């Protein structure tokens, strides 16, 4: 039976309207929420908009706030503040012990380029405070006294300090751990795809719909320019850069990643981007490689199979692990 023309037109219109609704529904279903945590904007994205997804995102933010309360040096009750104030040793939370375990391992393997005992040096420079300044040589020498990978010992949940005035700082690793915890909470709530992005350091859960996530890596000297675009599913991407927190005196840039040997900001790199399964490992290694520079940094990374890096050296030249090219699009 031949359909009449007006009926076909009506059917087509209904079909188009239904398609438009489905498409709009799809777009609304993308959840994107931001909170200020760990001193930066944390954004969680889930390509799903139902109630369970919203609850999971709320729980993931709460988990990151819990980690911040344990590891922030600015909270008098945190494990980090209490350990810095302790004479000798302190029993810390299981989370804090886990961060110390990996941090001390990276500290030892990087020959102290990564260092969890830079608390006094960091306070001296006050880069994150109101009055950042270049300290004099005697002050720097005093802040470096007795620091290093051997100055802390972890025994189960007990952290011991080699000397009472040692101040600990988890600023180079805690954010990565908090990102890992947020991903674990999302996955535990049945979320299969997500992105947790803390000021540019991020970890992905699964893919983004049917496609991998696309992650742009910014140029360290031009915020608008991308060094590379990576396509990834379920991995972490963390960058340490000299452009994130710095001040300038007489045209010299003083930033927040310190070389524990000199007590001055590390000068071998402009930025180091690490790709790893864990954001905590990527965070610690990005800081370590930044201090070590491209040659020694890439040598360290051979001990971590599956970890990829894109390094911009101080002279602007880029260096990468062999496997990075496979992630580029």
Q: Is 177 in the site for ligand ADP (CB under 6 A)?
A: no
Q: Is 100 in the site for ligand ADP (CB under 6 A)?
A: no
Stretch of 52-60, 140-148, 168-176, 320-328 contacting ligand ADP, by CB under 6 A: 168-176
CA distance 106 to 113: 9
Q: Does 90 bind ligand ADP (CB under 6 A)?
A: no
CA 238-243-247 angle, to 5 degrees, is 140
Q: How far is CA 30 from CA 16, 62, 68, 162, 209, in A?
A: 22, 20, 27, 50, 10
Q: What does the alpha-carbon distance between residue 87 and residue 54 come to, in Å, rounded to a whole number?
A: 44
Q: Residue 256 binds which one of ligand ADP, Mg ion, none, with CB within 5 to 8 A depending on kind?
A: ligand ADP
Say how far apart CA 216 and CA 231 lie, in whole Å: 9
Closest CB 191 distance from ligand ADP, rounded Å: 25
Cβ–Cβ < 8 Å for 219, 227? yes
Q: Considering the rule CB under 6 A, would residue 202 count as an interface residue with ligand ADP?
A: no
The residue nearest ligand ADP at its CB is: 171
Is residue 283 a contact point for Mg ion (CB under 5 A)?
yes
260 binds Mg ion (CB under 5 A): no
Taking contact as CB under 5 A, which single stretch among the options 169-177, 209-217, 242-250, 298-306 is the one that binds Mg ion? 169-177
199 or 234: whose CB is closer to ligand ADP? 199
The reply to whether 278 sits near Mg ion by the rule CB under 5 A is no
Residue sitting closest to Mg ion (CB): 287
Stated as kind and residue range, the H or E segment containing 115 is: none
Q: Which stretch binds Mg ion (CB under 5 A): 16-24, 43-51, 203-211, 283-291?
A: 283-291
Q: How far is Cα 121 from Cα 178, in angstroms, rounded to an integer?
A: 24
Of 118, 178, 194, 289, the residue at the interface with ligand ADP (CB under 6 A) is 118
Q: Which listed option, ligand ADP, Mg ion, none, makes contact with residue 114 (CB within 5 to 8 Å by class)? A: ligand ADP
Number of residues that bind ligand ADP (CB under 6 A): 19
In angstroms, rounded to a whole number, what is the distance separating the alpha carbons of residues 116 and 138? 21
- Nearest-angstrom CA–CA distance, 217 and 229: 6
| DSSP H/E element including 53 | helix 51-71
CA 84 to centroid of chain Cα atoms: 23
Q: CA nearest 202: which of 234, 243, 228? A: 234
**Given candidates 47, 148, 212, 260, which one binds ligand ADP under the rule CB under 6 A?**
260
Chain residues binding Mg ion by CB under 5 A are: 172, 283, 286-287
Chain residues binding ligand ADP by CB under 6 A are: 114-115, 118, 122, 169, 171-172, 175, 201, 240, 244, 256-258, 260, 283, 286-287, 291
């Amino acid at each position: 039976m031949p359909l009449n023309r007006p009926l076909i037109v009506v059917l087509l219109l209904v079909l188009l309207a239904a398609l438009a609704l489905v498409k709009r529904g799809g777009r609304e279903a993308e959840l994107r929420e931001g909170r200020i945590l760990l001193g930066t904007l944390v954004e969680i994205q889930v390509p799903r908009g139902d109630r369970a997804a919203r609850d999971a995102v709320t729980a993931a933010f709460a988990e990151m706030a819990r980690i911040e309360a344990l590891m922030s040096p600015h909270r008098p009750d945190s494990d980090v503040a209490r350990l810095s104030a302790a004479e000798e040793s302190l029993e810390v939370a299981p989370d804090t012990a886990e961060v110390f375990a990996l941090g001390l391992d990276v500290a030892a393997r990087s020959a102290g380029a990564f260092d969890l005992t830079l608390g006094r040096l960091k306070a001296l420079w006050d880069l994150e405070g109101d009055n950042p300044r270049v300290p004099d040589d005697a002050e720097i020498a005093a802040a470096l006294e007795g620091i290093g990978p051997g100055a802390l010992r972890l025994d189960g949940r007990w952290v011991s300090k080699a000397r009472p005035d040692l101040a600990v700082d988890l600023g180079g690793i805690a954010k990565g751990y908090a990102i890992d915890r947020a991903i674990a909470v999302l996955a535990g709530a049945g979320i299969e795809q997500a992105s947790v992005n803390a000021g540019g350091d991020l970890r992905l859960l699964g893919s983004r719909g049917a496609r991998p996530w696309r992650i742009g890596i910014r140029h360290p000297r031009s915020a608008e320019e991308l060094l590379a675009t990576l396509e990834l599913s379920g991995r972490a991407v963390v960058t340490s850069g000299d452009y994130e927190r710095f001040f300038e005196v007489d045209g010299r840039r003083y930033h927040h990643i310190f070389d524990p040997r000199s007590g001055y900001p590390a000068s071998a790199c402009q930025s180091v981007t690490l790709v790893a399964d864990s954001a905590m490992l990527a965070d610690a290694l990005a800081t370590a490689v930044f201090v070590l520079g491209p040659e020694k940094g890439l040598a360290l990374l051979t001990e971590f199979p599956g970890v990829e890096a894109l390094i911009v050296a101080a002279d602007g030249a880029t260096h990468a692990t062999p496997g990075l090219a496979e992630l580029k699009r």
